[in-house]
Amino acid sequence: MLGPSREAKRKELIRIVESASSIGFDVIVLDSERAVDDLHPIDVEAAAKFSEDVGGPVIVPTVPVRRGDFGSLLPQFLEILSRRESMGLCIVAGNPAYLSAEEASVRPGRLLWSACRAAGEVLNGRLMLLGTENVENVSRRICTSLGCTAFLLLDEGVEGEVRRFAGSSPRRVAVYAPFYIGDGIPEGAGRVLVSYARRRKRLVEALGGGSPGLREALRVSIVGGVGEAAERVAGLASSGVGLLVGFPAELSLEQVGRLALAARMGRRKG
């Protein structure tokens, strides 16, 4: 979503950091899918330095442990983290949709443990997110032992999963949620929400294996006016969510600003 070239991605990220700083966001998580789409670690550091200069949010890149470049990517980020206080790290197993068959066949448990241990030594208490999808048991043990922040995806019944993680870890629980805040849902934003919903295991199971459409996608996203979105945020907060990471179904400053407003309103209610 940031652009077709490395230079375009770098410029757009810095623009987003500047906007997020003016709105008052605490954290920007850089999602990761295919290696070809990633921001270069040096460009992530540039965005973090800019954020430091303007008093902006913590920048949190994502490292998938099953991806083939994990062995070189993690050390690069650990080196940067050692000199940038305004950064955290998100460690995930890696979604099979974005991995080769060989990468997806790798068992992630041992890699998650080693990555979190190495990152924890450098971060020294700063934000370390650990993706939990499909690795709930091992991630719960890691969060309890190493003090990571469990990072869940908004799915059917997520509130119960949040409570289970909140009861076993000293850290707050984070949830990733796609959103569109406004009247109606534009076609492009709807496609993003449906695509997300079709990858949510518990929702698909609840539908008896059916394929979610837009109506079902609303169950695993934050959609509606600011007031409606605030109510959803309040519900998540009351279940134990301490950090909401929103994924804009339509990337615009207006959408990001509406999320900030809904989150503040919802946090007070929750």
pLDDT (mean) for 14-37: 90
Contact yes or no for 226/261 (Cβ under 8 A): yes
pLDDT tens readout for residues 216-264: 999 999 999 999 999 999 999 999 999 999 999 998 889 999 999 999 9
Task: Indicate whether 145 and 207 sit together in one domain.
Answer: no
Task: Indicate whether 39 and 141 sit together in one domain.
Answer: yes
Could you tell me the residue range of the domain that residue 248 belongs to? Answer: 175-270
CA atoms within 13 A on the CB side of 229: 26
DSSP designation for 167: T
Domain count along the chain: 2
Three-class secondary structure of residue 181 per DSSP: strand
pLDDT (mean) for 116-145: 95
DSSP designation for 87: B
In a domain, 161, yes or no: no
pTM, two decimals, is: 0.94
In a domain, 71, yes or no: yes
Mean model confidence pLDDT for the chain? 94
Confidence (pLDDT) at 265: 93
Task: Indicate whether 46 and 114 sit together in one domain.
Answer: yes
Task: Indicate whether 197 and 245 sit together in one domain.
Answer: yes
Confidence (pLDDT) at 29: 96
Cα(41)–Cα(63) distance, integer angstroms:
11
Confidence (pLDDT) at 257: 93
Domain harbouring 43, CATH code = 3.20.20.80
pLDDT (mean) for 63-81: 96
Choose among 23, 80, 4: nearest CA to 47: 80
pLDDT tens readout for residues 177-221: 999 999 999 999 999 999 999 999 999 999 999 899 999 999 999
Task: Indicate whether 131 and 25 sit together in one domain.
Answer: yes
Confidence (pLDDT) at 253: 87
Residue 2 predicted with pLDDT over 90: no
Q: Which residue has the tokens 């909401």?
A: 244
Confidence (pLDDT) at 86: 92
Choose among 77, 56, 78, 1: nearest CA to 34: 1
Choose among 142, 165, 144, 162: nearest CA to 154: 162
pLDDT tens readout for residues 153-162: 999 999 999 9
pLDDT tens readout for residues 97-122: 889 999 999 999 999 999 999 999 99
Task: Indicate whether 218 and 256 sit together in one domain.
Answer: yes
Choose among 155, 152, 142: nearest CA to 173: 152
In a domain, 168, yes or no: no
Report helix, strand and coil shares of the chain as percent, to nearest 5: 55, 15, 30
